[in-house]
Amino acid sequence: DEPLLVVGRTVLWGAAGGVVVGLVANHLTLAPQQPGWSQLGSGSVLIRVVVLPLATVGLALAGPLALLRHPRFNDVMDGVVFGAASAVALQSALLVVTAWPVTGLGLRPDQDSTAWTLRLVELGVFVPLIVAGGVGWASAALWARYRAPIRDCRALAPLGLPLPGVIVAGVAAIAAAIVSQVFSPLGRFLALAVLAAGGLLLIRRAIHVGLLEEVNEDQPGSEVRCANCGCPTALHSFCTACGVAMRALPKRPPGRQ
């Protein structure tokens, strides 16, 4: 239920940041490197695995930070939505800009499509999830500390404090870049899948805290019978007996309790 205009501005900010980082990356004309840990010592690789990932995290966080003091957006859920949306837009725009020179090669159906397909999944799905998970977590940590009620300010601790949250986002982005640089294609795919799963878990945890925070803001209504467990519960966001989200349940037919 976030305002579409605000979310749209956050997405546009992220996309603009992705274009900037992509143009810088293309301008640097970094030479391709063979996979391997020995490559991490060179300056060009350090730019790939440290400087550019940290730049993406910083730019993705800058958009949500502009909304941190807005009186309307005072829930952890706001931080998760703004951070994840900005990060996904940034990473998507970055992928398009950095891959644009490849379009000049044209279609090459005679080449093995499996490796290209796996790489597209990595760059189009796994890496955005990793960055969105880290940035969404960092943004949620900032909202939990500076916008949430006192009882919720440490709900994401210990890694959900502002500084550790930002560090988590940076480490996640750098880890994805290192994996892309040093692992073989199959190992890279599996490692990025694991990191993406970790990003989803971070977002899931932050959303969980945001939902509980929103529940505490609502006053319970009259007593009803839960359609999931059959127990009586106050009309609210969640059933007090089984914990199911009331909005997720089908509507009861007329005349049934």
Alpha-carbon distance of 67 to 1, in angstroms, equals 16
Mean pLDDT of 49-64: 92
Ordered DSSP codes for 102-158: GGGG---TTS-HHHHHHHHHIIIIIHHHHHHHHHHHHHHHHHHHHTS-GGGTTTTTT
Summarised one tens digit per residue, pLDDT across range 221-255 is 677 888 888 888 877 667 878 878 776 666 554 44
Comparing 183 with 33, which gets the higher pLDDT? 183
Rounded (10°) CA dihedral 24, 5, 142, 176: -40
Assess contact for 120 and 148: CB atoms under 8 A: no
Comparing 231 with 192, which gets the higher pLDDT? 192
Nearest to 65, CA basis, from 10, 129, 19, 113: 10
Summarised one tens digit per residue, pLDDT across range 138-164 is 999 999 888 776 566 667 778 888 899
Alpha-carbon distance of 244 to 234, in angstroms, equals 13
Determine how β-strand 232-234 pairs with β-strand 223-225.
Answer: antiparallel
Nearest to 129, CA basis, from 94, 181, 92: 92
For residue 225, what are the β-bridge partners?
232
**pTM (2 d.p.):** 0.77
Mean pLDDT of 19-33: 75
Nearest to 77, CA basis, from 149, 140, 153: 140
Please compute, for residue 192, the number of CA atoms within 13 A of its CA located in the half-sphere on the CB side.
Answer: 29
Alpha-carbon distance of 121 to 142, in angstroms, equals 30
